[in-house]
């Protein structure tokens, strides 16, 4: 486990503020670990979140409006905004935040920024944006970059954990996953043990079925039913709920 201090030092290295030799010497980090950290997108993202976590609301909002910040910095700032600021906003302030987020979404191509912006919009106005953007965040579970997949899944678990209109929202997630799984049913035929991407989809699907009822299984392709019935998968899914990763 790499310390918060190391996260920050790696961040400084990445923006060319600190020579690699100084970083390695100060933290006594093995060269292999340092090299891996430099190219680990999830580590870079989490490092910026740790670095900016204690910033004031005014600084976070200013960074959201600063077009010169890097993609990872902006994604981290949006994550903090979603968690600490979005659901407290009302009136004109809320409208201002909404315009800022929509502008970011229209101009940023980074999948990290896109996922965090959509999650922030959902946190800002859940009823308005849940149906629009949750399916798009779910689509990130198919991204080629594993870090994007991990961050999108973490966003989805946060969104699900705060669900109040459980039936409506579970239906939206179920329909999105059902469509994705139907489109990949040929590939599913040969799968006996899902990879991490598929397991994350099954985690979310399992939650929707618990909310909507087992009759929804009739709407799924048989390849998915087979995977959900696999003892190993059932054990893994049950563990997710038992550990609190997904709510009952």
pLDDT for position 229: 74
Q: What sign does the CA torsion over 141, 52, 71, 99 have?
A: positive
pLDDT for position 83: 95
Interatomic CA distance for residues 171 and 160, integer angstroms = 12
Interatomic CA distance for residues 212 and 22, integer angstroms = 55
Interatomic CA distance for residues 114 and 137, integer angstroms = 8
232 is written with which tokens?
């190993």
Interatomic CA distance for residues 183 and 223, integer angstroms = 12
149 is written with which tokens?
């997949």
118 is written with which tokens?
């959509």
CB 51 within 8 A of CB 11: yes
pLDDT < 70 regions, the chain:
1-39, 230-248
pLDDT for position 22: 45
Distances (CA, A) of 50 to 76, 150, 229, 236: 9, 17, 40, 30
Interatomic CA distance for residues 180 and 182, integer angstroms = 6
209 is written with which tokens?
């079925």
Backbone dihedral region of 27: left (phi > 0), alpha (psi from -120 to 50 degrees) or beta?
A: alpha
pTM, whole model, 2 decimals? 0.78
CB neighbours (10 Å) of residue 244? 10
pLDDT for position 160: 93
192 is written with which tokens?
């006996």
Interatomic CA distance for residues 10 and 48, integer angstroms = 10
Interatomic CA distance for residues 163 and 191, integer angstroms = 31
Distances (CA, A) of 181 to 86, 199, 220, 223, 225: 32, 12, 8, 9, 11
How long a stretch of residues is the chain?
248
Query: Would you call 179 helix, strand, or coil by DSSP?
Result: helix
Instruction: For tokens 């009759």, name the residue.
Output: 215
pLDDT for position 54: 92
């Amino acid at each position: 486990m790499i310390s918060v201090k190391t996260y920050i030092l790696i961040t400084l290295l990445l923006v060319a503020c600190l020579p690699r030799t100084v970083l390695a010497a100060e933290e006594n980090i093995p060269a292999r670990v340092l090299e891996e950290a430099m190219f680990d997108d999830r580590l870079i993202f989490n490092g910026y979140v740790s670095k900016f976590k204690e910033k004031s609301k005014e600084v976070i909002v200013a960074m959201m409006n600063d077009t010169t910040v890097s993609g990872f910095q902006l994604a981290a700032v949006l994550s903090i905004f979603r968690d600490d600021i979005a659901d407290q906003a009302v009136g004109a302030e809320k409208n201002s935040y909404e315009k800022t987020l929509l502008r970011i979404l229209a101009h940023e191509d980074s999948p990290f920024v896109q996922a965090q912006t959509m999650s922030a919009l959902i946190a800002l106005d859940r009823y308005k944006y849940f149906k629009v953007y949750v399916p798009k965040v779910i689509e990130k579970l198919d991204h080629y970059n594993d870090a994007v997949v991990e961050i999108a899944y973490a966003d989805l678990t946060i969104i699900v954990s705060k669900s109040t209109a459980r039936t409506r929202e579970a239906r939206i997630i179920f329909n999105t996953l059902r469509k994705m799984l139907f489109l990949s049913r040929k590939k599913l035929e040969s799968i006996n043990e899902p990879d991490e991407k598929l397991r994350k989809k099954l985690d979310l699907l399992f939650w929707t079925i618990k909310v909507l009822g087992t009759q929804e299984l009739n709407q799924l392709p048989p390849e998915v039913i087979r995977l959900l019935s696999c003892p190993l998968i059932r054990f893994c899914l049950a563990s997710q709920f038992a550990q609190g990763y997904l709510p009952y």
